[in-house]
Amino acid sequence: MSAVANTPLPPRAPRARFQGSHLAVHGILIAYTLIALVPVLLVIANSLKPAGDIFTSPFSLPTPHHHDFSGYNTVWTQSHFTTYFTNSLIVTLASVFLVVLLSAMTAYALAEYDFLGNTFLALFFALGIMIPIRLGTVSILKLTKSLGLLDGTGVLGTVFTDRYAPLVALTLVYTAMGIPLGVFMLSQFMRQVPKDLKNAARVDGAGEYRVFRIVLPLVRPGLAAVAVFTIIPVWNDLLFPLILAPGEKTKTVTLGAQQFLGQFTSDWNSVLAALTMAMLPILALYIIFSRQFLAGLTRGAID
Partner 1 sequence: MTLPETTIERDLSMESDRLDPSGSAAYGRRTFRQRMRRIPWHVAVFILPAFVVYTTFMVYPLLDSLRLSLFDDAGKFVGLDNFHTLFFDETFSKPFWGALEHNVVFFAFHSLVQNPIALLLALLLTVQGVRGQNVYRTLIFVPTVLSVVIIGFIWSRILSPLWDLPLVHTSAPLGSETWSLPSLSLISVWQWVGIPMIFFYAVLIAIPHDVIEAARIDGAGSWRIFRSVTLPLILPMLGIITIVTFIANFNAFDLIYTVQGALAGPNFHTDILGTYFYRTFFGFQLQPGSDAMGATVASAMFLIILLGVLVYMFGWARRVRTYEF
Query: Where in 85-114 is the site for partner 1 (CB under 8 A)?
Result: 98, 102-103, 105-106, 108-110, 113-114
Least distance between partner 1 and beta carbon 153 (Å): 19
Comparing CB distances to partner 1, the nearer of 14 and 65 is: 14
Least distance between partner 1 and beta carbon 183 (Å): 7
Does position 156 interact with partner 1 (CB under 8 A)? The reply is no
Residue 189 near residue 215 (C-beta atoms within 8 A)? no
**Which part of the chain contacts partner 1 (CB under 8 A), choosing from 62-70, 157-165, 188-196, 292-300?**
292-300
Q: Which of residues 37-56 bind partner 1 (CB under 8 A)?
A: 37, 39-40, 42-43, 54-55
Does position 161 interact with partner 1 (CB under 8 A)? The reply is no
User: CB-based burial of residue 181 (10 Å sphere; 0-12 exposed, 13-18 middle, 19+ buried)?
Assistant: buried
Comparing CB distances to partner 1, the nearer of 7 and 64 is: 7
Binder among 32, 163, 197, 220 for partner 1 (CB under 8 A): 32
Distance CA 256, CA 275 (A): 11
How far CA 200 is from CA of 1, 14, 191, 206, 215, in Å, comes to 58, 44, 16, 9, 12
Does position 215 interact with partner 1 (CB under 8 A)? The reply is no
Does position 17 interact with partner 1 (CB under 8 A)? The reply is yes
Count interface residues toward partner 1 (CB under 8 A): 102
